[in-house]
């Protein structure tokens, strides 16, 4: 659960255009504590989750990984984005990337661009990578390609 919370908290914060320091100021939490949650080292109380979710405009279930591991693996959502549809139709799409493509809430919060999908699909990785790994890879791609 910490891995989902870590990735989704980081994604929601970045999508909101906030630094950890800004989120700390908004919520009254300490920046080091937020960093520990984002790294998966600490779990937050329900009160903390409520405060953070409200500040970021997301729900607690979403932060905790709603839709992940609930029997929907392999489920093909009603996808209108051609890039995502192609990923889901391709039997060679890695499971972690497939899991990311089926998480429409996370995709919306991350605002994944066409260029970023191309980058994620073009990188050959040595072994299986989880959805969280692809989210981290997306952040790496962004840090390299954005000024």
Does the global pTM surpass 0.85? Answer: no
Residue 128 has pLDDT above 70, yes or no: yes
Q: How far is CA 69 from CA 42, 65, 102, in A?
A: 21, 8, 12
Q: What is the pLDDT of residues 91-113, one digit of tens each?
A: 788 888 888 888 877 887 788 88
What proportion of the chain, given as a percentage, has pLDDT over 70? 85
Q: What is the pLDDT of residues 1-41, one digit of tens each?
A: 466 788 888 888 887 889 999 999 999 999 999 999 988 88
Q: Which residues of 13-22 are buried (b: 16+ CB within 10 A; e: fewer)?
A: bbbeebebee
> CA–CA separation, 59 vs 52, rounded Å?
9
For residues 25, 27, 28 and 31, what is the CA-based torsion angle, rounded to 10 degrees? Answer: -60
Structural domains of the chain ordered from first start: 2-63 (1.10.260.40), 82-145 (no CATH)
């Amino acid at each position: 659960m910490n891995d989902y919370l870590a990735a989704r908290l980081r994604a929601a914060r970045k999508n909101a255009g906030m630094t950890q320091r800004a989120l700390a100021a908004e919520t009254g939490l300490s920046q080091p504590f937020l960093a520990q949650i984002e790294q998966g080292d600490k779990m937050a109380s329900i009160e903390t989750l409520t405060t953070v979710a409200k500040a970021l405009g997301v729900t607690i279930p979403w932060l905790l990984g709603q839709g992940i591991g609930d029997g929907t693996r392999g489920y093909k959502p009603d996808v209108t984005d051609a890039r995502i549809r192609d990923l889901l139709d391709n039997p060679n799409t890695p499971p972690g990337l497939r899991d990311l493509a089926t998480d429409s809430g996370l995709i919306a919060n991350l605002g994944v661009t066409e260029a970023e999908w191309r980058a994620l699909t073009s990188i050959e990785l040595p072994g299986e990578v989880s959805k969280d790994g692809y989210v981290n890879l997306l952040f790496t791609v962004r840090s390299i390609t954005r000024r």
